């Protein structure tokens, strides 16, 4: 078993070799450096004395050394490891992508957890060459390279064929106006305002005319700067115990915002959130920042609003004062986020590091990492979740670490490993490929018509009329067939009956936790109870919704097959939305805020453990019943089926319009008694040239 060792920033590279190779460690030039791709780097770094023989059997492993012209032996492996570590230190090899590669090796059981943990921690603690003033160039990021290429192609297609301009513009706008969200959290004095101001490059937050962080503020891009105060609705006001007022959302100059959100303003309690439109490069790139009120907001509705934003955010940025000890609230929040959040990732930012020495910074970072792992273990969760956290040390006052943090966010949002950016590009490509195919089919049709005589042209027109007639008849027939199919769909879900059984297990765990504290005369840890409650129910609903998604996808696939069989024609292309994406966007959003408040109140007010158990059973049963999941899921299934039908009809409408367009073109051709031969050749040459251009465009789109 590999022993655990304490790592410090700037640790000697030789320590890595000693740990991995033990007595088999060889003398290696510590200054050797080499450049390899990040995937290869992760494989090489995973090799140790205990798995070396296994790697030796792999042809792909041998190929790596052939490529760099090294013999495959223990010396070469250790030389490569030294070179890769120096490459990472000198920023020639991207650390984050190497860590991602190691994570994939661990997930695929190529690398055991203990070795993975050692290598990951070692790499994370390497002191890299200072790059404070290094600003990442957008044009070097994969997303911008691809989207710029696709935008050029989109403009070429607009110039080639005007009939699809609206659809091309929609595709272009959708891809270029995509939004990325960062939710920012932290306790008081965590340095949120100063850090965010430094990130975006302008002092917006924490100044007198902008709301204090008791308000939730969304910072977005706008060429003309503005501030918008969004008020709670009448029903929301009543639920908060406020005297109801009829208030319309207000869009004002930033300097006037304090009139509505300042502590002395009578309207401040009625403000739901503030939207700030600012003209800044980071925001113009589609990055929106959600500055939250902080942890454990006293206003339940605002806490729910905050959590809703966090669930939809691509990253959660949690700020902690590095010069102070991590609070229990910080740890509970981090654990809950790692276990339950759907956010794309958690970044912990240790602020005010200008007040710490280099050694103190290293100790604070190490302490924070260990505290998170310990907290996960205490809650009974997998400690390896702590490895999903990214850490940054910053000082807004001294501008330390700010560019590194921004570079990481940009790389994560727009780099080659960004799932969201890749999805945006893939959807853009898919739409451009589809439109290119439509234009090619139209050009090909015209070419064939130019080559046919009048008799054949008339036959083609009759076939088109017949296709149009059949299309309408088949659509009406299919709609009736599908409606009957939808009526028979069953979404009663036997799994719903098991929810009570699972909630009983959650209740028993909470009772055990409360009893343990009371028996030892300790304070009940309500943060812990909240995480146990939320994570337990969250896991339960994830399983339920996953099963629901499988059933829905199966039924939608049956509808798709019905459509495919009915429209088995070369003239018809089915281009429909993806079921999974639709479900992910529209599944019920479950809030646990009120449930946890009721849980805490019940535990505080009931001392008898038997009565407490009964009350918690009632509380959880009522929570599940009030969600009305059977009805909600049935409505969603019908909406999903309707989405499919709407997509089907849109595709059929497009096919119908295309057939009508071809019919008109044929009529125009037949109305000319005999085409001028020279004009005929010229038309054909133009169409052939256009077809070749479309072929070239199609290939360019595919390679983006």
Compute mean pLDDT per 10 residues along the chain, 704 residues long, and list them: 36 81 88 86 93 90 88 92 89 83 86 89 77 63 92 94 89 92 85 87 62 73 91 85 88 83 83 90 91 70 77 89 82 85 82 86 87 87 84 89 89 88 92 91 78 60 67 70 66 63 89 91 88 86 79 74 63 55 75 88 93 93 87 79 74 70 65 60 84 93 87
Per-residue pLDDT, 213: 44
Q: Count other C-beta atoms under 10 Å from residue 123's C-beta.
A: 23
In this prediction, residue 571 carries a pLDDT of 45
Are 598 and 621 spatial neighbours (Cβ–Cβ below 8 Å)? no
pLDDT of residue 700: 93
pLDDT at 633: 80
Tell me the torsion sign for CA atoms 356, 359, 362, 363: negative
- Total residue count of the chain as it appears in this document: 704
* Structure confidence at residue 162 (pLDDT): 85
pLDDT at res. 673: 43
Q: 287: closest CA among 409, 194, 418, 191?
A: 409
**How far is residue 279's CA from residue 294's CA, in Å, rounded to a whole number?**
26
* End-to-end CA gap in the chain: 46
Positive or negative CA dihedral for 698, 700, 702, 704?
A: negative
DSSP-assigned letter for residue 607: -
Task: State the Cα–Cα distance between residues 317 and 408, nearest whole angstrom.
Answer: 12
Question: Which of helix, strand or coil describes residue 576?
Answer: coil
- How confident is the model at residue 150, as a pLDDT? 95
Could you tell me the pTM of the whole model? 0.69
Name the burial class of residue 661, with classes exposed (0-12), middle (13-18) and buried (19+) by CB atoms within 10 angstroms of its CB: middle
Give the CA distances from residue 194 to residues 26, 201, 257, 398, in Å, rounded to whole numbers and listed in that order. Answer: 49, 10, 19, 11
Q: Residue 259 has what pLDDT?
A: 82
Q: How many CB atoms lie within 10 A of CB 583?
A: 21
Tokens of 592: 């646990």
Q: Is the dihedral of CA 277, 282, 288, 293 positive or negative?
A: negative
Sheet holding 180-186, edge to edge: 250-252, 226-231, 271-278, 216-221, 287-291, 180-186, 315-321, 346-351, 390-393
């Amino acid at each position: 078993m590999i022993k655990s060792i304490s790592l410090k920033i700037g640790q000697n590279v030789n320590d890595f070799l000693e740990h991995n190779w033990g007595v088999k460690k060889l003398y290696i030039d510590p200054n050797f450096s080499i450049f390899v791709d990040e995937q290869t780097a992760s494989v090489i770094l995973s090799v140790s004395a205990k798995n070396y023989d296994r790697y030796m059997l792999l042809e792909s492993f041998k190929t790596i050394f052939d490529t760099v012209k090294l013999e495959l032996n223990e010396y070469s492996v250790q030389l490569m490891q030294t070179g890769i570590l120096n490459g990472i230190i000198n920023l020639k090899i991207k650390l984050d992508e190497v860590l991602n590669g190691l994570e994939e090796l661990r997930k695929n059981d190529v690398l055991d957890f203990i070795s993975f943990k050692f290598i990951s921690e070692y790499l994370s603690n390497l002191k890299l060459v200072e790059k404070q003033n290094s600003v990442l160039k957008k044009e070097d990021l994969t997303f911008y390279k691809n989207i710029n290429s696709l935008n050029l192609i989109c403009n070429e297609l607009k110039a080639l064929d005007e009939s699809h301009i609206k659809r091309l513009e929609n595709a272009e706008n959708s891809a270029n106006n995509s939004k990325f969200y960062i939710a920012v959290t932290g306790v008081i004095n965590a340095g949120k305002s100063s850090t965010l101001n430094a990130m975006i490059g302008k002092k917006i937050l924490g100044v007198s005319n902008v709301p204090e962080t008791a308000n939730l503020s969304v910072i977005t891009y706008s060429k003309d700067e503005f501030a918008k105060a969004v008020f709670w609705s009448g029903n929301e006001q009543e639920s908060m115990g406020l005297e109801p007022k009829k208030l319309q959302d207000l869009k004002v100059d930033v300097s006037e915002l304090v009139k509505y959100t300042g502590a002395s303003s009578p309207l401040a309690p009625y403000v739901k959130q503030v939207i700030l439109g600012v003209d800044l490069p980071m925001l113009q790139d589609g990055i929106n920042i959600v500055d939250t009120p902080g942890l454990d907001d006293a206003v339940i509705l605002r806490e729910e609003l905050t959590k809703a934003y966090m669930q939809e955010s691509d990253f959660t940025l949690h700020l902690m004062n590095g010069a102070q000890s991590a609070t229990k609230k910080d740890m509970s929040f981090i654990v809950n986020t790692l276990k339950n959040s759907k956010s794309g990732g958690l970044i912990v930012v240790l602020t005010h590091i200008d007040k710490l020495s280099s050694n103190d910074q290293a100790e604070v970072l190490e302490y924070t990492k260990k505290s998170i792992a310990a907290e996960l273990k205490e809650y009974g969760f997998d400690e390896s979740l702590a490895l999903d956290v990214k850490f940054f040390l910053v000082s807004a006052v001294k501008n330390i670490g700010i560019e590194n943090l921004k570079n990481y966010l940009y790389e994560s949002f727009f780099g080659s490993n960004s799932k969201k950016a890749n999805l945006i590009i893939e959807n853009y490509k898919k739409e451009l490929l589809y439109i290119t195919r439509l234009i090619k089919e139209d050009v090909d049709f015209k070419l064939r018509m130019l080559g046919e005589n009048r008799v054949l042209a008339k036959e083609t027109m009759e076939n088109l009329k017949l296709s149009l007639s059949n299309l309408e008849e088949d659509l009406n027939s299919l709609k009736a067939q599908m409606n009957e199919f939808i009526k028979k769909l069953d979404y009663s879900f036997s799994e719903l009956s098991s929810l009570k059984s699972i909630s009983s297990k959650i209740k028993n765990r909470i009772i055990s936790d409360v009893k343990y504290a009371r028996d030892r005369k300790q304070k009940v840890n309500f943060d812990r109870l909240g995480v146990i409650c939320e994570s337990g129910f969250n896991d339960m609903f994830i399983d339920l919704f996953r099963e629901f998604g499988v059933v829905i996808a199966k039924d939608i696939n049956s509808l798709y097959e019905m459509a495919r069989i009915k429209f088995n024609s070369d003239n018809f292309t089915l281009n429909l939305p993806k079921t999974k994406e639709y479900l992910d966007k529209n599944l019920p959003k479950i809030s646990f805020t009120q449930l946890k408040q009721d849980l805490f109140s019940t535990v505080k007010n009931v001392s008898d453990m038997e009565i407490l158990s009964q009350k918690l059973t009632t509380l959880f049963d009522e929570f599940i019943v009030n969600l009305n999941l059977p009805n909600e899921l049935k409505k969603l299934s019908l909406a999903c089926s309707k989405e499919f039908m709407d997509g089907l009809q849109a595709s059929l409408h497009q096919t119908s319009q295309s057939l009508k367009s071809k019919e008109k073109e044929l009529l125009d051709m037949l109305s000319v008694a005999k085409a001028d031969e020279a004009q005929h050749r010229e038309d054909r040459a133009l169409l052939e040239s256009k077809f070749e251009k479309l072929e070239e465009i199609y290939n360019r789109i595919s390679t983006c």
